[in-house]
Structure 1
């Protein structure tokens, strides 16, 4: 096997298409790494071989290798360390990295959620932020973990990750309060069904959303908070995917949710029959992505394009932050790990 790489799969047509060869990230043969997400024109990768996190700007080719915080190093070989990258409002140079861990080591005294924030402005990690796991989280044969196959979703001022194992839930990190919490999924929706696909999304009009797909039927849920601060879920929409997708009944196959583009409210899915495709959750527009029909690790990469800036010979170029967003067009491509 040769060196592993990350490469881009464009999702827009010419002339707005960015040539896939314009971007790419190579790793040395034998390197262990995991792409965990992208946001605000930056890609976030955890480099397991180096015990570092990598923040990469595909447009400028800038790379930032950051040592993991000592307080989380011990978790790297025991559980899933997940995270996210983001820029503060109005920032075009500096960024933040948030790492999260569900520390479920079967010790009732030490079961907790951990988070740590890095600022490129200061160049240091902050203190470890912790909170005990809710008492209702059972101790089972499958420890609670942050899902490695689902990237974080930014909703308002909080980042959200899917949890799985002894509990299916949502880990929330509040960027303003610098706190972590667990949000339960809609009661009975997950536990009452067998094989399913689920992900955090942005609800229609804003707010936290939750999407679950069972047998080509998708349910979109919205999180509400009452005047007493008590949260609950409301079923917002049911989508009959078998009527939306070009599928013959006899050719149905399991449908996988492989990514969510939060700025465009687009969910990426894959089946062995269709391959990779996207669905806009509000308009329900369907589009097949021309890509080899393989199940891989896909991460939507959203950037902002301005007609006056040329990248790779195209009419629209990729830029990240620092300009009037009202004059820009958002474009989405898919970042793929070719070996998964």
Structure 2
């Protein structure tokens, strides 16, 4: 009788990879491909815990410095156009607020800000949205802040924060509006700015100034320079400065109103859409100028007499960066248009005849954006898309949930 075969030996399980090594591997996944980290977080509970831990997010910032551009928000009102458009190689979606109710006005420090579309009560409301976590918070605007085509800016309120992991933390909002004041003879318009604090849930006292110009703010998002200066570009091309420390407002012109300015387009007349706000190379205030097939970068330099002048800092020849087919059409004098700028990543969005591109101003890298629907203005969304645990997501805006947000005005 044949003997029974010897029992098979069970293979020993391979030794578990230490969490420290797993973390080092996951940190090397492409940071500009959010799907990679999302898939990694779903492999097992341990990996999900590593990817969603605040330390992992901080290490991403330390390793890659500048966060990647994930996509952009826009003001298009096409029925089939999502409010958020991904620009990554592997497209992904974010559940941005509905464009039929909200208009995107700003995005900074991991927070996007939306302004309500005018309702029957003729009052405004703001909505804060964190793209990475999906957390939202409504912010009522006092009825006294009643002006046409206002705008707003959002920024982290923590002094000294590096913004590597300030999701859910305190923030401030600056709301800017203009009112036609019929009681004033010489300057008919009053420009005002109010500051909202998430820590108190209240609005501070208004700062106001008179202006001979009526300023509308529908097209462009704000620019934060340092930790104390906010800039807004009006639709007519005027620049409004708000000093967060002094609580002062100042209005000044773009470079085309400066003595000695010459346009490469053969005209010295103002073009409302030619200049766009951006950070200068030294971190100060700058603007880009669309000039035919060139892109001029200007910076505002202060002098010993406290006067400031615009100075050309750099010129990009776009024919050396972009495909010729997107720049030249026989019989058409076409100008490339800048649609958006990212403060954190030094990347601009430019629109050509047929395509939309991003240009990394530091590296000179050009990337075509697949989704181009003729957008007029873009608000870039940047950040490291590391999944956040559901329980952490639920507590991110616990300090001031939607139902407790106040429209109270402090005077």
Any idea what SS the aligned residue of 1:150 has? coil
Rounded Cα–Cα distance in structure 1 between residues aligned with 2:284 and 2:97? 37
In structure 2, the CA distance between the partners of 1:194 and 1:222, relative to structure 1 (3 Å rule), is closer
Question: 1:169 maps to which residue?
Answer: 238
Any idea what SS the aligned residue of 2:205 has? coil
Please list the CA deviations of residues 194-241 of structure 1 after superposition, one character each: whole Å capped at 9, or x if unmatched: 655220110012111111102122211111112332211111112221
Q: Does 1:59 align with 2:140?
A: no
In structure 2, the CA distance between the partners of 1:52 and 1:219, relative to structure 1 (3 Å rule), is same
Q: Conserved in 2, the CA contact under 8 Å of 1:204 and 1:282? A: no
Which of 206, 211, 215 in structure 2 is aligned with 1:144? 215
Gaps of 5+ in 2: 1-76, 390-395, 397-411
Question: 2:98 maps to which residue?
Answer: 27
Rounded Cα–Cα distance in structure 2 between residues aligned with 1:198 and 1:71? 32
Rounded Cα–Cα distance in structure 2 between residues aligned with 1:109 and 1:197? 27
Any idea what SS the aligned residue of 1:53 has? strand
In structure 2, the CA distance between the partners of 1:193 and 1:228, relative to structure 1 (3 Å rule), is closer
Rounded Cα–Cα distance in structure 1 between residues aligned with 2:78 and 2:223? 32
Question: 1:246 maps to which residue?
Answer: 323
Q: Does 1:111 align with 2:189?
A: yes
Bigger radius of gyration among the two: 2
Which of 314, 334, 350 in structure 2 is aligned with 1:237? 314
In structure 2, the CA distance between the partners of 1:205 and 1:62, relative to structure 1 (3 Å rule), is same
Question: 1:280 maps to which residue?
Answer: 360
Q: Does 1:267 align with 2:348?
A: yes
Rounded Cα–Cα distance in structure 1 between residues aligned with 2:301 and 2:335? 31
In structure 2, the CA distance between the partners of 1:280 and 1:2, relative to structure 1 (3 Å rule), is closer
Rounded Cα–Cα distance in structure 2 between residues aligned with 1:34 and 1:183? 26
Question: 1:70 maps to which residue?
Answer: 143
Given the two structures, how large is their TM-score scaled by the length of structure 1? 0.75
Gaps of 5+ in 1: 313-319, 321-340
Question: 2:23 maps to which residue?
Answer: none
Which of 213, 219, 229 in structure 2 is aligned with 1:158? 229
Q: State the aligned residue count.
A: 288
Rounded Cα–Cα distance in structure 2 between residues aligned with 1:26 and 1:204? 33
Alignment RMSD: 2.9
Rounded Cα–Cα distance in structure 1 between residues aligned with 2:78 and 2:280? 41
1:1-340 correspondence runs (5 A): 6-13=82-89, 20-21=92-93, 23-27=94-98, 31-49=100-118, 51-72=124-145, 74-75=146-147, 79-89=148-158, 90=161, 91-92=166-167, 93-104=169-180, 107=184, 108-133=186-211, 137=212, 143-146=214-217, 148-156=218-226, 157-165=228-236, 168-186=237-255, 187=258, 188=261, 192-193=268-269, 197-248=274-325, 249-250=328-329, 253-273=334-354, 275-305=355-385, 309-310=386-387
Deviation larger for 189-198 or 116-125 = 189-198
In structure 2, the CA distance between the partners of 1:131 and 1:261, relative to structure 1 (3 Å rule), is same
Please list the CA deviations of residues 129-149 of structure 1 after superposition, one character each: whole Å capped at 9, or x if unmatched: 11222xxx5x6xxx4323x11
Q: CA deviation at 1:32?
A: 4.0
Q: Conserved in 2, the CA contact under 8 Å of 1:7 and 1:20? A: no
Q: Conserved in 2, the CA contact under 8 Å of 1:4 and 1:26? A: no
Q: Conserved in 1, the CA contact under 8 Å of 2:179 and 2:191? A: yes
The structure where helix makes up a greater share of residues is: 2
Rounded Cα–Cα distance in structure 2 between residues aligned with 1:6 and 1:86? 24
Please list the CA deviations of residues 73-122 of structure 1 after superposition, one character each: whole Å capped at 9, or x if unmatched: x31xxx21011111123354111111112345575344232100101100
Rounded Cα–Cα distance in structure 1 between residues aligned with 2:350 and 2:198? 34
Rounded Cα–Cα distance in structure 1 between residues aligned with 2:362 and 2:252? 24
